[in-house]
Amino acid sequence: MEVEKERVTEGREDARSRRRRRWIICCAVGVGVLVAVVLLIVILAFTVFKAKRPVTTVNSVSLENLGISVDVLRLRVQLNLTLDLGITVENPNKVGFRYKNSSAQLNYRGQIVGEVPIPADKISAGERKPINLTLTLLADRLLSDSQVYSDVLSGELPLNTYTKISGKVLLMNIFRIHAVTTASCDLTLFVSSRTIGNQQCQYKTKL
């Protein structure tokens, strides 16, 4: 009887031992698979799906409307100005680029004199998205600026357009890479010919 009991006890211990080994093996395999998946995701995120910089390019700046009224006695100028601004935002990534509400500005000698919103949207992978904007100068911003009077009389009005788009690239639905792309263009409005010239643009992107 005692021998049989010992055999039963040994059998139970062997069974527990086998179950323990199987559990350890299963855990090791599970951990190994998990580590492999994580490594694969990380490798893909930083190679094939590596975040690239979206780029904003200014395609055209044209004069839509220009109205000038000169007050010689007060040395003031009433100026109404509207520019059509055409830009393209390129997303070179393998995934979409989603940007939040942004804006484009019209500047005169460092002062914001007009602004237009750019509604939030998404740009698909590899897409080039054209955006047409209308910038209108707010006349009251320049009523007290005597430099405008001098510039108008000289026939050349220095202006600047500045576009800033902020968003993020979502890699593998895990990694969020924030990106900011800007386009700044200095240009000259020739009053007599009502044309735009001397355009020089600078493009920057930060990740």
DSSP letter string, 160-197: EEEEEEEEEEEETTTEEEEEEEEEEEEEEEETTTTEEE
pTM of the full structure: 0.75
Q: What is the mean pLDDT of residues 70-78?
A: 74
Confidence of residue 137 (pLDDT cuts 50, 70, 90): confident
3-state secondary structure of 153: helix
For residue 172, what pLDDT is reported? Answer: 57
Q: What is the mean pLDDT of residues 5-10?
A: 53
Segment of 11-15, 16-20, 40-44, 83-87 carrying the highest mean pLDDT: 83-87
From residue 84, alpha-carbon distances to 12, 108, 158, 196 in Å are 85, 16, 16, 11
Confidence of residue 61 (pLDDT cuts 50, 70, 90): very high
Q: Of 80, 71, 87, which is closest to residue 113 (Cα–Cα)?
A: 80
